[in-house]
Structure 1
């Protein structure tokens, strides 16, 4: 291959980058929210099971394709498929999926940035519950604020990517991830020492199968499968790009396991912050996105030194958002560099303009464009973009990647397993071949079909 691929300078950089891609806002509000809905500790056990049996194999496959091809998803299939095959056509859907993801993620990340500034400046001090809820509505409905904060997030992400793989993306992600973990641990200590926090910990950590039955075991299983797939950002080449930056020293199963452990640690630690606080102040913990933007600011208001704890919480949320933005932007930069042989600088300039323009509809979706309600009253452009990424492109992409790595008509099992097991560390077991070739794609298709039924039934 003519081009020389950039490489990461350290294994920790790779783990933090991959985990940064996986650790998004979904871990932090969606995981505690669905855990709250499905009865706490019992749901966590089901989720961990599916994380291992569904998430890890797909991540290892993405790493393998990336490391063997030394390319992003934009061109990886072209290199590995046999002559005359059409697997590479999926790369266009995957690239579209990455753009779609940042089109709404930049808006949500912009809200996080706005909230951090509001918390630091004391804007929430003295507000009652209705006042906090009104603050969130006012932010969503203000087109200028929404677009400015969204553009600020894009600028931060692009500047980090423009500094290069090692000096920008890797170095800054390492700093942010280290700070994120440190701030989380501080917040856990504060949360578990609140009055009545023990009730929240019991609910969260002690499995209660009666509560699980009440919520519906079938629903809980489906929710756990969905969360396990989406949390690792598999199916759109997000992990493939980091595989292409990896050397051959270590096996890919071991690396995937490390990333999964870090991702799970953050999701579970988020629950240790949120559940004790919710129980301490008598607030329900199954409130969806409102949990972060409405419920938690109320809790911080009621706490001694609430502005300090609230500011720390939103710093941590911003780090989680920006590490994901940087990881997806890096993937998008790689498309431009692999497809058009652009320099990194040119890829950054063109994509800054492109991503900003593409993100505007979502940012205006609660104000000027609020009349666009793709799923009926109360829905917004954000819901459509999120649905296309999470419920359509990701699961179908994961199925295609599984078939590419396991069938003779694709890259094939032997090539995949050889690449995955090159190096020192945990070897991906040969005996999983039947499960991965036949059961796993059916399980992911089930998630896809249920997601469609859920949305439209």
Structure 2
């Protein structure tokens, strides 16, 4: 299965690649983080700025990563090493691998929470609870070390269970089943939310831009959200791109990925805010919006129990499709560079990441007084290191490599498929990749660091 023997797996077609890439991009960031960041930054105005930032920042990095992977048929380290031999550029690949390992280590903590909430929703555990009751229930859950580690372990076992079956039989088949199902559940939830009495304010909140609420912080938040919501910077799209046939056109593929991942984020907002406004809650509840406010909303809605089951199953499966892509990055590095077989590599990487994630899970209970970077908890320290340092740095290296070392003419040539179609307005994209996107990433980098000090 190693790439150097010509037997590297490929997606069955562009459709499988697109669904898997959307699954990677559509995770907790789209359904958990996007709604509460939108709620904290004024709604519709933030959404409009976010879409612009996706086009100027997220899309160019996505293009560069997929083309780099597809042209080399290698993992992030191997791809940069092949295109720039005997240079230090390959270190950017290691940054992506380290980022994916760290992110999945603490991501699995929250992934375990989503599974627990799905179970509670199925058991009707939120029925008739007030928001204070749900807050107490959540606090009791995360303060129990044994319970939270068990749910984290279950989430990692699900992730490893998909990856161990390989590309087409595991990752592609799972995404072909889950992504249409997630889309259907989102549509049902949106219809249910927008038909609630008083939901109009929530619809207006997310779709109508109130420019009076926009500040420089809003713009910085939109830049950061655009970067992180497309799953770039951690080597996942280089890895997924390495399985894409060279006959496929990359521009048409990334257009679909950007479009549908953005639509999922907007649909998540339309599924949440009309219901929140309908029952008189505030939209700016922050990270607690999903795990405390929403269960209370569902508890008071007509047929709210069914809505809760649909939503938390949706959230847990979105977390799973992202975690699969994160595990695939170090796994493919071991397969490509060290010829480790699939089963051994999956058990080794998944088991190691689970062990690394235990301190993050315990940072909400018995390790809550243990501090790391800037006095943060272990969970928040790892989140800070990955999200504010490694991801922007990994993305910056790839975009500089594409724009200056490899060269945009080569990138655009490699992006074409058998139909010969490339990006429209190519001089515009050359300017964006070489100048605008690197400056925007540096802006995100600086804002994330300074705002955390």
TM-score range with shorter-chain normalisation?
over 0.9
What displacement does 1:415 show? Answer: 2.0
2:24 maps to what in 1?
21
Q: Following the alignment from structure 2 to structure 1, what is the Cα–Cα distance between the partners of residues 298 and 323?
A: 27
Of 68, 88, 92, the residue aligned with 2:94 is 92
Tell me the distance in 1 between the aligned counterparts of 2:414 and 2:253: 13
Offset at residue 108 of structure 1 (A): 0.2
Q: For residues 166-221 of structure 1, what are the alpha-carbon distances to aligned partners after superposition, in whole Å with 9 as ceiling and x for unaligned?
A: 11110011111111111110111110111100111112111222233xxx2x1111
Q: Which residue of 1 aligns with 2:14?
A: 11
Aligned to 1:198: 200
Map of 2:352 onto structure 1:
354
- Rounded to whole Å, the distance in 1 between the matches of 2:442 and 2:99 is 18
Structure-2 residue corresponding to 1:64? 67
Q: Give, in whole Å, the separation in 2 of the partners of 1:441 and 1:419.
A: 21
Q: Distance in 2 between matches of 1:126 and 1:277?
A: 16
Q: Report the counterpart of residue 414 of structure 1 in structure 2.
A: 409
Paired residue total? 448
* Deviations 1:66-88, CA, capped at 9 Å, x for gaps: 01110111311111104x31111
What do the CA deviations read for 1:121-180 (whole angstroms, capped 9, x no partner)? 122223222110011111111101111000001111111111121111100111111111
Specify the alignment match of 1:404 in structure 2: 401
Partner of 1:344: 342
Distance between the aligned counterparts of 2:237 and 2:27, measured in 1? 14
Instruction: Tell me the secondary structure at the aligned position of residue 239 of structure 1.
Output: helix
Deviation at 1:426, TM superposition (A): 4.8
Alignment match of 1:446 (pick from 439, 443, 446): 443
1:79 aligns with 2:103: no
Q: Check 1:228–1:123 CA distance in 2 against 1; reply closer, same or farther (3 A cut).
A: same
Q: Distance in 1 between matches of 2:351 and 2:328?
A: 15
Are the structure 2 counterparts of residues 139 and 426 from structure 1 closer, same or farther at C-alpha, using a change threshold of 3 Å? Answer: farther
* Structure 1 CA distance for aligned equivalents of residues 212 and 403 of structure 2: 40
Gaps of 5+ in 1: none
Greater Cα shift, 200-209 or 15-24:
200-209
Residue 261 of structure 2, aligned match among 257, 260, 263? 263
Q: Does 1:42 find its partner at 2:39? A: no
Distance 2:313 2:183 in 1: 11
Contact 1:32 1:286 in 2 (8 A): no
In the TM superposition, residue 411 of structure 1 has moved relative to its aligned partner by 2.2
1:90 to partner: Cα distance? 2.2
The CA deviation at 1:376 is 6.1
Q: Secondary structure at the match of 1:63?
A: helix
Superposition deviation, residue 428 in structure 1 = 5.4
How far apart, CA to CA, are the structure 1 residues paired with 2:132 and 2:437? Answer: 46
Deviations 1:1-39 (A, max 9, x none): 434210111222111110111111111122122222222
C-alpha separation in 2, matches of 1:327 and 1:94: 12
Question: Tell me, which stretches of 5 or more residues in structure 2 are unaligned?
Answer: none
